[in-house]
Amino acid sequence: MDKNFSSDRPISNQQDDKFQRYEFAKRIANTIVERESEDCIVIGVYGAWGEGKTSVINFIETELKEKENIIAIKFNPWRYNDENSLLIQFFQKLAVALDANIKTTGEKIGSIFKKYGKLLKIDIPLIGVNIGDSVEGAGDILGDVDVETLKERIGAILKENKSKVVIFIDDIDRLDKVEIHSIFRLVKLTADFLNTTYILSFDEEMVSAAIGERFGAGNQKSGQNFLEKIIQVPLKIPVAQPEALKQFCFQLVDKAINSNNISLTEEEVRRFVSEFTSNILIKLDTPRLAVRYGNTLSFSLPLLAGEVNLVDLMLIEAIKIFYPSHYEFVKSNPEYFIGSYSERFSYGKDTDKVSSLKEHLEHLGKNITKKQRSCIQSLLEELFPRLNEVFHNYASYDGRLTNDWFKQKRIVSPKYFNKYFSYAVIKGEISDIAFQNFLSDVSEQSIDEVASSIKTLVEQSSPDNFLQKIRSIEEDFKWDESVKIAKAISMVSAVFPKREGFSFAFGFETPNGQAAIFIYQLIKKHSNKDEQFALAKELMNEAIHFEFAYELNNWLRSGDTPEQKIFSAEQYGELAMLMIKRALKEADKQPIFIKFPDHVNYLFASWAEQNKKAVTKYINDILKKDKTKVIDLLRAFTPTGYSTAVVGPYKTDFTKEQYQFFVSIFDKNVIDKAISKVYKNSQVNSEVVKWTHMRDDGTQSDINIIRQFRHWLQADTVTIEVEPTETEE
């Protein structure tokens, strides 16, 4: 057995007695020794499973070993699978033990059993015998066999040698019903040897129920009546005092913690002790439960230390041992414990879910006391605070509290719940130990090394898992750490994909968007404006992938008012020009509206704001070389849509708002003139313009985009005269 685990083996020595049972056992032993009557007596030692019956038996035996003329014999009934074997082996064990301890000048007691071998080998149908309504019938089992001769010869030898025989039969309550019947019939047949004491150890309620089916009315009361005829001295072992049990249990908890080099803060210790003493101690009624709890901690703590909230782990493991039905229910029904009880589309409470949980808990609590039901509910509320919505009408929990649960690795966090029951880091998740090691190394590593570590963690788990962990502590980073992590994430932004599809149309739900938001938050919380802007400019450089730099630039512009924004208008203009210069360079000979069609609104609007003449010249130069590029330009400025009815992104309508935005940047006459060079008016006017609701398949065509542009151009009542530039034809 692992050295960290505690054995559930019974104890024998007084110095190991933690529950004041030794004096009880010693009194029994002294009574046996001092008893003057030669009549056989049967003592019953009663106690529930795990309460310490075997330890009491061992204590009695220890005391008797010190006494003269006491022959103690332990008989284990587990080893025999039928009643005849049980009888034969019992008498043989008795014979061997007596021969070894009693010296006679005449015939040895063992030879007496041999002479009566015929009796021992007789095939009596004991199991099929109908005992009748009372134990009196048990004496007739041997019928005509000369039992009395055997008993008289044995009694005479014991009396002559002044020997007392004490026969221990333990764990009777662990036998099946037929075996239990056999043991008591055996005791009844042999119980009246002179100078003999039987000490039988069992759970009275369990044994009464088992044998009650065979006697009298066939109920537990009948079984108790039967026991009263067998057991002359029924003794219940002293109940272990709650304080002694608590101290014993806490010693085992300390052992599990210390042997695994685990440290708990003072607050963690306070929380555990408070919850354990308030809600678990009421169920701690046997030493065995304490041992089982200590052992389950010895198993789970080293596996999950650093991966979960240790106090939550110790408490859910306590529920497993002391409230096993509730534990299985929690494990199998997480929706009741980590999900909200608010209606999905309203501010009301999900009454059906509330009623369902209460019904389940009522059923689970039917076999425990009212106080115990209250305790387990209180403990569940501590572990799963969302239950306050059920029992105390508290409001739903906001995102900040949910993030706190995640940061604290609480069992109520959906990301951690399963880990408490799997005893392992689930595939696709980052080990909290590995993540903590990564954080500890940031200050000592180069940016390239930090970037490599991030890439490794993401590849071993998932982008979402990494981002959730690091975003949960974004308020905790120092500025030098923020700078390094921001640059490192930007360098490996390719591992944070920008998934396409309707569910991710707004960007912030993608790993790419979440990574950008995280860096934005790191910059935003810093107090030094110059350092903020210096980092922002660095993240716009060519070492960062253009798409991620654009995403980050987009989030850096967050805020509706100047007070809400991080930077000044001039600084935003400077960042914009960095992006425009990058776009022009990376597009090379290709127009930027073809290279970066998803970003044309920002790029051209920002460029026009800084230098509209440069934009006009850029477009005129492109159209001068190739008039067909006007189609690419209009297509790029036509909004992209996402829908569950259409696979992938698609072009919607060139709306009035988009037209007005477009002509605020570009000369509408120049654009229309370029269109006329590509399409004849007859082509454009051959069909009416079609809007989304008019298109059967919902698709948009280039010629229809031209028609939509012309539609708004013709409706534009404001005529702007534009002087030809030298680049126009």
Q: What is the pLDDT of residue 215?
A: 67
- The percentage of residues in the chain with a pLDDT greater than 70, rounded to a whole number, is 84
Would you state the pLDDT for residue 66? 78
Mean pLDDT of 585-613: 95
pLDDT of residue 257: 93
Average pLDDT for 718-722:
46
Using 50, 70 and 90 to split pLDDT, how confident is the model at 726?
very low
Any bridge partners for residue 197, and if so which? 41, 166
Question: Please, which pLDDT band fits residue 347 given cuts at 50, 70 and 90?
Answer: low
How confident is the model at residue 397, as a pLDDT? Answer: 60
pLDDT at residue 415, rounded to an integer: 87
The token pair that represents 220 in the structure block = 């537990």
Phi and psi, residue 46, nearest 5°: -100, 140
Closest by Cα among 184, 170, 182, 158 to 98 = 158
Q: Above 90 in pLDDT, residue 244?
A: no
- Judge contact between 168 and 206, C-beta under 8 A: no
Q: What is the mean pLDDT of residues 80-105?
A: 76
- Closest Cα to residue 48, out of 287, 263, 277, 214? 287
Task: Name the CATH topology of 20-236.
Answer: Rossmann fold (3.40.50)
> Is 663's pLDDT higher than 90?
yes
Report which secondary-structure segment, H or E, holds 42: strand 41-46
Average the pLDDT over 547-574 and give the result. Answer: 93
645 — pLDDT class (breaks 50, 70, 90): low
Contact 411, 384 (CB under 8 A): yes
User: Do the Cβ atoms of 682 and 716 come closer than 8 Å?
Assistant: no
Distance of CA 499 to the CA centre of its chain: 29
How confident is the model over 695-716, as pLDDT tens digits? Answer: 777 789 999 999 999 999 998 8
Name the least confident of 206-220, 649-663, 710-724.
Answer: 710-724
Least confident of 102-111, 177-186, 433-442, 644-653: 102-111
User: What pTM did the predictor assign?
Assistant: 0.64
Q: Is the pLDDT of residue 664 over 60?
A: yes
Note whether 7 and 1 are within 8 A (CB).
Answer: yes
Select from 95, 52, 59, 64 the least CA-distant residue to 166: 64
Query: Is residue 258 over pLDDT 50?
Result: yes
Contact indicator for 165, 197 with CB cutoff of 8 Å: yes
CA angle, 65 as apex, 63 and 71 as ends, to 5°? 120
Report the distance separating Cα 405 and Cα 312, nearest Å. 11
Alpha-carbon distances of 4 from 254, 276, 292, rounded to whole Å: 11, 21, 12
Token pair listed for 308:
């979960």
Distance, CA of 520 to CA of 556 (rounded, Å): 6
Residue 542's pLDDT is 85
> What's the pLDDT score for residue 125?
40
pLDDT of 718 strictly over 60: no
Judge whether residue 651 has pLDDT over 60. yes
Q: Average pLDDT in the 482-491 region?
A: 96
Q: What is the mean pLDDT of residues 66-87?
A: 79
Q: Is the pLDDT of residue 432 over 50?
A: yes
Q: How confident is the model at residue 79 (pLDDT cuts 50, 70, 90)?
A: low
Which of 98-107, 145-154, 447-456, 496-505 is most confident? 447-456
Confidence of residue 80 (pLDDT cuts 50, 70, 90): low
**Which of 246-260, 329-343, 387-401, 650-664 shows the lowest mean pLDDT across its residues?**
387-401
* Higher per-residue pLDDT: 135 or 353: 353
Longest dimension (CA), the chain: 143
Q: Write down the pLDDT at residue 129.
A: 36
Give the domain ranges of the chain.
Answer: 20-236, 242-422, 428-588, 601-729
pLDDT number for residue 552? 95
Asked if the model's pLDDT at residue 728 lies above 60, the reply is no
Model pLDDT, residue 477: 94
Question: Which of 52-66, 473-487, 496-510 is predicted most confidently?
Answer: 473-487
> Is residue 725 predicted with pLDDT exceeding 50?
no
pLDDT at 251 over 50: yes
pLDDT score at 433: 87
- Average pLDDT over every residue of 5-34: 78
pLDDT one-digit tens code per residue, 376-412: 999 999 999 999 888 887 665 666 788 899 999 999 9
Q: Where residue 346 falls among pLDDT bands split at 50, 70, 90?
A: low
pLDDT of residue 249: 92
pLDDT at residue number 89: 78
* Across 446-459, average pLDDT: 94
d(Cα 619, Cα 727) in Å, to the nearest integer? 10
Classify residue 11 as exposed, middle or buried by CB count within 10 Å of its CB (0-12, 13-18, 19+). Answer: buried
Task: Tell me if 242 sits within 8 A of 250, measured CB to CB.
Answer: no
Residue 684: band (very low, low, confident or very high) from pLDDT cuts 50, 70, 90: very high
Task: Look up residue 503 and give its amino acid.
Answer: S
pLDDT at 216 over 70: no
Q: What is the pLDDT, as a whole number, of residue 109?
A: 67
pLDDT for 136? 40
Q: Which two tokens stand for residue 692?
A: 């989304």
Question: What average pLDDT does this structure show over 8-15?
Answer: 69
Confidence (pLDDT) at 485: 97
Q: Model confidence over 119-136: pLDDT tens digits?
A: 544 443 433 333 333 334
Q: Whose CA is closest to 177, among 216, 152, 207?
A: 207
Lowest mean per-residue pLDDT among 154-168, 177-191, 243-257, 508-522: 177-191
Give the rounded percent of residues in the chain with a pLDDT score beyond 90.
Answer: 53
pLDDT for 268 equals 95
Residue 277, token pair as written in the block? 């003493």
Q: Is the pLDDT of residue 199 over 90?
A: yes
Angle between helices 656-665 and 600-625 (to 10 degrees): 60
Stretch 32-52: mean pLDDT = 87
CA atoms within 13 A of residue 99's CA, in its CB half-sphere: 14
Structure confidence at residue 580 (pLDDT):
96
What is the chain's mean pLDDT, rounded? 84
Q: How many CB atoms lie within 10 A of CB 189?
A: 17
Minimum mean pLDDT range among 196-200, 213-217, 423-427, 676-680 = 213-217
